[in-house]
Amino acid sequence: MTPELRIETADQAYTVPSRSTLAETLASVERFLLLEALARSKSKAAAARELGICREAIYSKMRRLGIKVGPR
């Protein structure tokens, strides 16, 4: 049996499908963390600071992962 990866925050949990490739698993985790930070933050720049990445990196990751968030 393949182990599942479960990510939990204070108010939400996410389980990565057990048959994912490494790339799929990393993308799923990254997407979850980005969406969580964006939901908590007042701006994309604030979400980037929370994640410890630069503003350009958050925009790049959002494009790559297909995340679309309106202006804040």
d(CA 61, CA 26): 12
Arithmetic mean of pLDDT, 47-65: 97
Arithmetic mean of pLDDT, 11-17: 76
Band the pLDDT of 8: cuts 50, 70, 90: confident
d(CA 9, CA 20): 21
| Cα angle 19-24-26, degrees, rounded to a multiple of 5 | 115
Q: Quick check: 2 pLDDT over 80? A: no
Tell me if 2 sits within 8 A of 17, measured CB to CB.
no
Pick from 72, 65, 66: nearest CA to 39: 72
Q: Quick check: 20 pLDDT over 90? A: no
CA 33 and chain centroid, separation: 3
Give the pLDDT score at 25: 85
